[in-house]
Every structure is written in C-alpha cells, then in structure tokens.
Amino acid sequence: MSAHSTDQPLRLMSVHAHPDDESSKGAASCARYVADGVEVMVVTCTGGEAGSILNPAMDTPEVRADMVGTRREEMAKAAAILGVQHRWLGFVDSGLPEGDPKPPLPQGCFALEPLEVPTEALVRLMREFRPHVVVTYDENGGYPHPDHIRCHEVSMAAFDAAGDPERFPEAGEPWQPSKVYYSHGFSKARIEAFHHALLDAGMESPWAEWLEKWDDSRPDPGTRITTRVTCPEYFPVRDDALRAHATQIDPNGRWFQMPMEMQQRVWPTEDYELARSLVDTQESNEHPGDDLFAGVRERAEAA
C-alpha cells in the first residue's frame, strides 16, 4: 500500500496533552465521525499526574493516593463513551508552573523530553493506525501550557516524519497522513454568543468574568477557523465524556450551566483550522468547510 492511499474506512487521530483534553476539545466531532463509520483514535501524551482535583466531591485521600490510576480509569470511561480507540504516549505530566518567578519544570517531564523521543513514539502510532486526518493544538497550545505546546510540536514533527522511510525506520512501515487540523474551541465570538444568549434569556452568564479579562492583544483563534463541523446532537455525548473525568470536571461548574438546547442552537459546530493539507480542498477562513475529510473522501472514492 502506498503512503498516500486512502482505503476505507477513513481514520482520524486526535492528539492531546492530558486525559480530559479529548473531552473538552473536539469530542462531539469525534463521536459524530464514529457514528458515521470513521475509525477514531485518541492519543494522550501524558498521564495527567500533575492535574489538580477540581471537583470537591472527588477530593479524597484515596484519590490523592492514586492519581495515576484514577486518571487512567477516567480516561477509559471517557473513551468508551465517545466510542474511540485510545492510546497513551507514555510521558509524564509537566504541570503548569505558577509564581513569579516561575519555578522550573520538573526533570523528566514531557515538555523537557528531547523532541525526537515523543516524536518517534507518535510516529509509531501513526504508522500503526494509519490516520488520514490528524487533529492537534496550534503553536500556542490552545493555551500556553507547556504540555499543550509540546503536543503541538510533537504532532507536527510526527506528521512530517511518519511518511518518510528514512525517519525512525524501526517504527513501522511509513504512512503519510493527508491533513492536520488545529482544534479551536474558545474563540471570543463563541464565548460572546453564549454570554449574550444567556443574558437575553434572563439568565446569569458564567462567561462574564472571562470576557472582562479577555486579552485582546493575544490572537483570537476564531479568526483562524477554516472548518466548522456540525455536531449538536453529540453535545450530550461530549458532556458525558467530560463528566467521566470526575476529578477534573465539577458537574456543577461553568461547563454545564448553559442549557443544552441553547448550546445546540447558538453554536452547533466544533471549529478547526486547516494547518496542513496534502490533498486538494477549498477550506478557508473566508469560506469555511464542514468536513475534516474534505479532499480525502474524494481521493478515496477515486482510488
């Protein structure tokens, strides 16, 4: 099979930094594609060991004593809800350094690994799973967590290396994915749309403080969107997957304060930026597409 062949079924790989990222970024799209017969694999780069317990109900001595095991169980439940395959890349959560000055990252963490090490691990998975489309984060990591930025770097390096027989020859038969997208979930336009819909309905908005603190000097990912995947019927699946990460997600928190019907009506898509494509596609910021496999499907049908 050639490196660019696109046999059925289509395959999507979604690469994330920590367990729970897959459920807060593009989860409804993944569930939709699974329902459409696409094979989907979620790859989690780290074990999430440094994550805080954000749900007070889960803050127990037993959970604190086994965060690694707890987060693995949560991830397994979320993957089952979404219907996706899942693989751990096997690196250690870097944590989010806080303070002034910020402390150094811990030795041995994902963000400090030589780039070639996690790149080879991801290339190995790409050659095993043979995705046509890869989804990851932009160069800012979606937000500037060191693991998210490293996830971007590793994903792009692996995309470039996976089809090259001279790179990592022991990592399997070369396979070249056709497209890479960046997931963009938190555009200002989306948050403003939710905020105003709640106010218009006479409800309190949990987004007011976020918008007040919005830094307009930082690029708004909403201006980069090229592809909008319509998937409102899978928003409940997304939320169930989020709740499976019980240590990280407070079921009474901001994520769940907006009525589902309102979310589905106000912003029925999950949004992406086409970062790299080796197939012909017309997606652009001015004329967004609606399918991550645009161009890939056509090539598959012609093969």
Binding residues for Zn(2+): 18, 21, 148
Report angle CA 110, 114, 118 to the nearest 5 degrees. 60
Q: What is the DSSP letter of 238?
A: H
CB-facing half-sphere around the CA of 162: CA atoms within 13 A: 31
Which of 242, 265, 244, 270 is CA-nearest to residue 254?
A: 242
Binding residues: 18, 21, 148
What span, in angstroms and rounded, lies between the C-alpha atoms of 149 and 180?
Answer: 16
Both tokens of 61, joined, read: 């001595």
Which of 228, 232, 231, 234 is CA-nearest to residue 272?
A: 228
- For residue 144, cis peptide bond before it (omega within 30 degrees of 0): no
Say if strands 11-16 and 179-183 run parallel, antiparallel, or are unpaired.
unpaired
